Amino acid sequence: MKKSLVALAALAVAGMASAQSSVTLFGVVDASISRYTTNSIDNRVINPFTGQVVSGAFNPGQSQTVLGNGGYSSSRLGFRGTEDLGGGLAASFWLEAPLSNDDGSTVGRPFNFSRRSTVSLSGGFGEIRLGRDYTPTFWNDTVFDPYGTVGVGTNVISSVSGLAGAPIVRGGLLAGTTFTNGNYARASNTVGYFLPPNLGGFYGQLQYGLDENVHGNATNLFGNTNSNTGRYVGGRFGYANGPLDVAVAYGQSTVRTFNEPVALTVSPTGFSPFGAKVKTANLGASYDFGVVKLFGELSQINNDIRNTNAGFTLDSTTKVRGWLLGATAPVGAGLIRASYSEARTNLNQPF
């Protein structure tokens, strides 16, 4: 009898343990047919005497029809799970991979968990999350965009965030290169902290991405081997209560550490002592009136560049400022979405 009771108690404990753990398979498969067209633009200035083009260029019109994915929501496949550790603590994981369902191939988009791969510990203190995750500034871009930064309606500032920059002088020559912010939407090797959800509507997060470079005391041609390239730091703080949601975010990504050697074809020495950081700040808000939900966002990207040539140091900043106004209106089970966004550089050039 005692053995039976012990066995029943063990089964009960096992049943409780299994009930406290869960693993979910989730995903989206999105397909769309899209056609893109551009008009011909001819802004050439031609010397009437020689017939030579003085400035400008002729860009012929083009068109393209594609069967794509991610027109409404990004295609993905993922696994997530949570286990109750007791005492108010829970351990979780999240593995999410992109899908290329328009052709079924993995060329250029291999199956990996690059969308998100995290493990976390949560409790009354909030959540500590480790791994590859969305950046705080990207959350503002996507939450306050009626299209969720997906498809042709994507916020313009989101489209240029990984491309914003200006020509950089290297070795006395104009390279005409722009920096790409690889940490715009997601950052790898991050340690993140999220506030608990019981703060009366206030929410927030802090995130730090390790550069994972080898640091030491040795010196190179420029006296620096302690590269911080790849490092990311950012944060987001907001308030959501009822129909109102407003948040501000800031992030800084080190694209290249000053005096870090790199092979360049435009420099006679093969090295160029320059550094660059991409700094992003945005403020977004939304208000749901029921029949319509309004969205708005202000954004700014700074590409801070330091270039040294022949002992002369030049600091420059290229700024990209953007704004968005949008709305969604529920119709049955769906939504009508509309938005207008714009982004311009400090050279007054639109994207």
**Residue 348 corresponds to which tokens in the numbers above?**
């007054």
Indicate if the pLDDT at residue 247 is higher than 80.
Answer: yes
The CA–CA distances, whole Å, from 113 to 81, 187, 231 equal 15, 13, 20
User: Rounded to an integer, what distance in angstroms lies between the CA atom of residue 335 and that of residue 333?
Assistant: 7
Indicate if the pLDDT at residue 267 is higher than 80.
Answer: no
- 3-state class (DSSP) for residue 111: coil
Indicate if the pLDDT at residue 132 is higher than 80.
Answer: yes
Indicate if the pLDDT at residue 81 is higher than 70.
Answer: yes
Is residue 74 very low, low, confident or very high in pLDDT (cuts 50, 70, 90)? confident
User: Rounded to an integer, what distance in angstroms lies between the CA atom of residue 92 and that of residue 81?
Assistant: 5
**Residue 254 corresponds to which tokens in the numbers above?**
């080190």
Three-state SS string over 221-241 comes to CCCCCCCCCCCEEEEEEEEEE
User: Rounded to an integer, what distance in angstroms lies between the CA atom of residue 285 and that of residue 324?
Assistant: 10
pLDDT, position 179: 54
pLDDT, position 2: 47
Name the most confidently modeled range: 6-20, 44-58, 126-140, 221-235.
126-140
Q: How many CB atoms lie within 10 A of CB 30?
A: 18
Is residue 260 very low, low, confident or very high in pLDDT (cuts 50, 70, 90)? low
Closest by Cα among 213, 211, 179 to 305: 179
**Residue 235 corresponds to which tokens in the numbers above?**
């944060």
Indicate if the pLDDT at residue 146 is higher than 70.
Answer: yes
pTM: 0.77
* Higher local confidence (pLDDT), 305 or 218: 305
pLDDT, position 173: 32
pLDDT one-digit tens code per residue, 286-343: 999 999 999 999 999 888 776 655 555 556 677 889 999 999 999 988 899 999 999 8
Mean pLDDT, range 73-85, rounded to an integer: 92
Three-state SS string over 322-350 comes to EEEEEEEEEECCEEEEEEEEEEEECCCCE
Indicate if the pLDDT at residue 7 is higher than 50.
Answer: no
Mean pLDDT, range 198-205, rounded to an integer: 96
Indicate if the pLDDT at residue 169 is higher than 80.
Answer: no
Q: Report the chain's terminal Cα–Cα distance, integer Å.
A: 79
Give the position of tokens 């949570």: 82
Closest by Cα among 278, 302, 293, 296 to 209: 278
Q: Do residues 129 and 135 make contact, with C-beta atoms less than 8 angstroms apart?
A: no
pLDDT, position 136: 96
